[in-house]
Amino acid sequence: MTLQLVFGKTVGIRMPSNKIIHDVIEKCNLPLAAPSANISSKPSGTCIDDIKQDFDGKVNLFVDGGKCNIGIESTVVKVIDGVPVILRPGFVTEDDIMHVIR
């Protein structure tokens, strides 16, 4: 699981679906922080060519895990007083979330 600090005292947790990064996370045996593969306000790339176009010369290494299965942004949820609130809709729907938390 990756952790990402968001706006002070909140934490965003992201778990990608890619097997390569799952293996990296498992072998690290430490918290791993990593940004999204897009520049803020730009859509996320869905293949290595998209990513390289935005980040070439800005990062030291690219890991090509293949084309994304889903080209939709992550759903962002904040739990306020025990109630999940969707801050940004994405692939995971409100129904998906409600099914898991019931």
State pLDDT tens for residues 62-96.
Answer: 888 888 777 677 788 888 788 888 888 888 888 98
Altogether, the residues listed in the chain come to a count of: 102
Q: Give the DSSP letter string of 56-71.
A: TTT-S------S-S--
Residue 85 to residue 54: CA distance in whole angstroms = 31
pLDDT of residue 8: 60
pLDDT of residue 3: 44
Two structure tokens written together for 55: 């980040």
pLDDT of residue 87: 86
pLDDT of residue 9: 66
Residue 72 to residue 45: CA distance in whole angstroms = 10
pLDDT digits over 17-62, tens only?
Answer: 788 888 988 898 887 777 667 777 777 778 888 888 888 888 888 8
